[in-house]
A = this chain, B = another copy of it.
Amino acid sequence: MSLESEFISRIHFNDKGLVPAITQDFETKAVLMLAWMNEQAVRQTVESGFATYFSRSRNKIWVKGEESGNSQQLVSIQADCDSDTLLLLVKQQGPACHTGNVTCFFEQGIAFGNEEMESNQ
């Protein structure tokens, strides 16, 4: 079995045949997005070297950047300890987020005061 087929055979897809994929910028280490892959998307990703996902809303395979040009060239793809999540390290062309932001995680969210707490100790 090829390295690619062996890699794919070990992945635990969920009851909908999907696995979550975390995509991280190889250079900045920023987490760019989370998207989903079915088996075909994983296969296309490892064979093409470009991140390819499965759109749950459009119910079809989706090559990242195919329309926008904001493609993701793979540096590596790994499964986690229980093989139900993937991590992609990529070279991101342009912004990863459809909003035009570098990453899909651009909202401020909630910050905790650890830094201040530490400097006070």
Chain B residues with CB under 8 A of A91: 114
Known: A49-B112, A85-B104. 17 other contacts (CB 8 A): A7-B109, A7-B110, A20-B20, A22-B31, A31-B31, A33-B85, A34-B34, A73-B114, A76-B109, A77-B109, A78-B109, A78-B110, A80-B105, A80-B107, A81-B106, A81-B107, A82-B104
Known contacts A20-B20, A109-B7, A80 near B34 by CB under 8 Å? yes
User: By the criterion of a CB under 8 Å from any partner CB, how many residues of chain A are at the interface?
Assistant: 41
Residue A61 CB within 8 A of the other chain: no
Residue A99 CB within 8 A of the other chain: yes
A residues 79-121 touching B (CB-CB < 8 Å): 79-82, 85, 87, 91, 97-99, 101, 104-112, 114-115
Chain B residues with CB under 8 A of A106: 81
Q: Looking across the interface, which residue of chain B has its beta carbon closest to that of A46?
A: B110
Q: Indicate if the CB atoms of B49 and A78 lie closer than 8 Å.
A: no
Residue in contact with A3 in the complex, picked from B99, B107, B110, CB distance below 8 Å: B110
